[in-house]
Structure 1
Amino acid sequence: MSTSIFELRHQDGKARAGVIHTAHGDIPTPIFMPVGTVGSVKAVAPDDLAAIGAPIILGNTYHLYLRPGHKLVERHGGLHGFASWPGAILTDSGGFQIFSLNSLRKLREEGAEFRSHLDGSKHLFTPENVVDIQRSLHSDIMMVLDECVPHGADYAYTDKSTALTTRWALRARRHYPAGTAHNLLFAITQGGFFRDLRQRSIEELCAHDFDGFAIGGLSVGEPKPLMYEFMYDLAPRLPQDKPRYLMGVGTPLDIVNGIAAGIDMFDCVLPTRNARNGTLYTSLGKINIKRREYAEDDGPLDPQCGCYACRNFSRAYLRHLYVSKELLAFRLNSLHNLTYFLDLVRGARQAILEDRYADFLAGVTAVYPEEAAQAAGG
């Protein structure tokens, strides 16, 4: 498929500002993608997501295949129609979910056999049928089936797994040739924490015409300095003219460092999960809204944020909702955190376009000193 799917607009150091063209709109990069695993970003509605300017969300092939079923979703116009979401959708292949099942799955050349975590029924995901399922979901960006190798796996296992992931990716590309319809197909590079295996994975996959390339297998339990070391090393090795996606990462500090490394796309459940636990991200750092110190705080959650929660409610009210276990707390907290993450990547993009990304990175790093020290090995 033509490399015009991705336009690189500007670069500041390794940090990139670009645009990904999809069937459901253009996606300015760098971008953070809210996670809607089962076709819904938890606690928020599609109009909320549109209001905060999210151009793309995620769904998960494994979960949607098991419930409600991809054919039912297809009959309702794919995920866009079923979930009333007009923007772009990326679907993960479900590989990470399958391989986290441990005793409930078996790997073989044909694919991954697994038992449903819902009812124990047996299923088989192959590189081919995972593409077919995602096409039924009408995904704008489809991910190939891969194995996510856990941190601590030895060289022999990682070598064998990485080779299998590569063979599966090439089978997916053959099943869905470049230039077919409007769905984009991204490959996932693996290789654990072995540099030669990572390099081989990148070389073998990037020799083929995938529409984008992901770095898989980071943030899987490794120390933070090791994750950063590999992130900074691997991102520039991916093709310059294709989108680069770091899967399942991460914190605000992870994201701005990933952008500095040359990565374009990020996703993580962190903003919505932490919102439901009362942890909120602000321009001044993280706030635990259930703390007693906010009980009579009349100020906005974040004076620099323009989200619905910050424009209309005090910290005292947000704390009251949370400690009272009111469901509105989930919505307002989630809206705020998602706005923060989207504003973060929008700010990063503007800084890249204005050749001041180093200052932007330093500014965000200063807000999270403890995490920065951890990332530096302190």
Structure 2
Amino acid sequence: QVFSLIYRTANKRNAISDAGCTFLNPINGDYNFLSPEISQIIQHKLGADVVTVLDVPMRHDASTNEVRKAIKRNTEWALRSKRKFLELNGLSENDFNNPKIVRPKLGAVIQGGNDFELRKESALSLLEVGFDFYNFGGPPIHKDKNWYKTAPIGFNHELIHFVSELIPNDKIKYAMGIGSPDDILYSISVGWDVFDTVLPTRNGRHGYLYVTKGEGDTHYDNYDVLHVKNKECEFDEKPVDSTCSCECCKNVTRAYLRHLIKINDPAGWRLSSIHNLTFYNNLLNH
């Protein structure tokens, strides 16, 4: 989010330096400073069980030299983050490596854009520092694809597979921001363990519903999509997905859900989110 705030507005005071990053607070107009150490303090005060270092993401159009410079800073920030993490939790390096000690888990973020060698360089430098889990940083997409308009077509299968093999299997592999059902299932097949994505809820609010094969109007490898706002659903009395037993599918028709979303009734957004989250859970459980 900080990365987005910094690059979304052309303001010289929005900046990333070795010390940390300065950005404009869009709520009150104040400028804030966030460093690797401050990030750890915030997460510690929140009582987080899963903690992530402050990383250095890159724009998709960054040059090789820019990415290499960012990787160096990313590793330095990760090292500073770990030092602060140990200090805040009263741990030594030996304590950190002792599996008998109960403590929060700390993860680092592998960067490098679409460059395989730079990804390897980032991963190896972070493995040398030592963390509990390793995240895939940045969207794994081909440079000639637009993430928002062509996903999952633009998904870089080779890159996500390559980075997974760089991480030891005794470490948790976290694929940040992935993704569509097909992308998640592929990522699982090449070793990734943990995922997070806004797609079920964000897409649900726009009437984009994930359904079982044969139930939707658009077809992918492991699922269909039902665009419930389409005219075809205006008088459709079927549930969103006849194979689903979620609160949405048990209680409302496609026609009524379409009506709720079209009039911006929060109940429609909630029901769509419930269905999509149920679909994701069922797919992964199977």
The two structures, once aligned, show a CA RMSD in angstroms of 2.0
TM-score by length of 1: 0.63
Deviation by residue 1:184-242 (Cα, 9 ceiling, x = unmatched): 11100111122221111111111233111001022477335562221121112112111
Structure 2 residue 279 is matched with structure 1 residue 340? yes
The separation in 1 between residues aligned to 2:22 and 2:233, in whole angstroms, is: 50
Matched residue SS, 1:103: coil
Q: Is the 8 A contact 1:95 1:147 kept in 2?
A: no
Q: Tell me whether 124-133 or 223-232 shows the greater mean CA deviation.
A: 223-232
- The code of the aligned residue for 2:199 comes to L
- The code of the aligned residue for 2:210 comes to Y
The separation in 2 between residues aligned to 1:102 and 1:182, in whole angstroms, is: 39
Match of 2:210 in 1: 281
Match of 1:33 in 2: none
Counterpart of 1:209 (choices 123, 127, 130) is 130
Match of 2:252 in 1: 313
Match of 1:262 in 2: 191
Structure 2 residue 58 is matched with structure 1 residue 149? yes
Deviation by residue 1:293-315 (Cα, 9 ceiling, x = unmatched): 22222221111112111122221
Q: Aligned runs of 1:27-66 on 2, under 5 Å?
A: none
- The code of the aligned residue for 2:68 comes to D
Matched residue SS, 2:16: strand
The separation in 1 between residues aligned to 2:280 and 2:77, in whole angstroms, is: 33
Shift of 1:159: 0.3
The separation in 2 between residues aligned to 1:346 and 1:167, in whole angstroms, is: 38
Match of 1:175 in 2: 84
Q: Aligned runs of 1:74-89 on 2, under 5 Å?
A: none
TM-score by length of 2: 0.82
Q: Is the 8 A contact 2:229 2:261 kept in 1?
A: yes
Structure 2 residue 150 is matched with structure 1 residue 197? no
Identity %: 33
- The code of the aligned residue for 2:55 comes to D
Match of 1:91 in 2: none
- Bigger Rg over Cα: 2
Structure 2 residue 10 is matched with structure 1 residue 103? yes
Shift of 1:99: 4.7
Shift of 1:318: 1.3
The separation in 2 between residues aligned to 1:100 and 1:220, in whole angstroms, is: 20
Match of 1:186 in 2: 107
Match of 1:297 in 2: 236
Q: Is the 8 A contact 2:200 2:277 kept in 1?
A: yes
- The code of the aligned residue for 2:31 comes to K
Structure 2 residue 189 is matched with structure 1 residue 228? no
- The code of the aligned residue for 2:171 comes to K
Q: Tell me whether 215-224 or 104-113 shows the greater mean CA deviation.
A: 215-224
Greater strand percent: which structure?
1
Structure 2 residue 178 is matched with structure 1 residue 249? yes
The separation in 2 between residues aligned to 1:226 and 1:321, in whole angstroms, is: 33
Shift of 1:106: 1.1
Unaligned runs of 5+ in 2: 87-95, 146-152, 214-223
Counterpart of 2:139 (choices 206, 211, 218) is 218
Q: Is the 8 A contact 1:274 1:280 kept in 2?
A: yes
Q: Is the 8 A contact 1:99 1:148 kept in 2?
A: no
Match of 1:126 in 2: 35
Matched residue SS, 1:245: strand
Matched residue SS, 1:164: helix
Q: Is the 8 A contact 1:127 1:169 kept in 2?
A: yes
Q: Is the 8 A contact 2:246 2:278 kept in 1?
A: yes
Runs of 4+ in 1 over 6 A off after TM superposition: none
The separation in 1 between residues aligned to 2:59 and 2:194, in whole angstroms, is: 22
Q: In 2 relative to 1, CA 102–165 (structure 1 residues): closer, same or farther, beyond 3 Å?
A: farther
Shift of 1:346: 1.7
Shift of 1:151: 1.5
The separation in 1 between residues aligned to 2:185 and 2:7, in whole angstroms, is: 28
Q: Tell me whether 307-316 or 222-231 shows the greater mean CA deviation.
A: 222-231
Structure 2 residue 67 is matched with structure 1 residue 138? no
The separation in 1 between residues aligned to 2:155 and 2:260, in whole angstroms, is: 39
Q: Is the 8 A contact 2:140 2:159 kept in 1?
A: no
Match of 2:264 in 1: 325
Q: In 2 relative to 1, CA 135–181 (structure 1 residues): closer, same or farther, beyond 3 Å?
A: farther
Deviation by residue 1:3-53 (Cα, 9 ceiling, x = unmatched): xxxxxxxxxxxxxxxxxxxxxxxxxxxxxxxxxxxxxxxxxxxxxxxxxxx
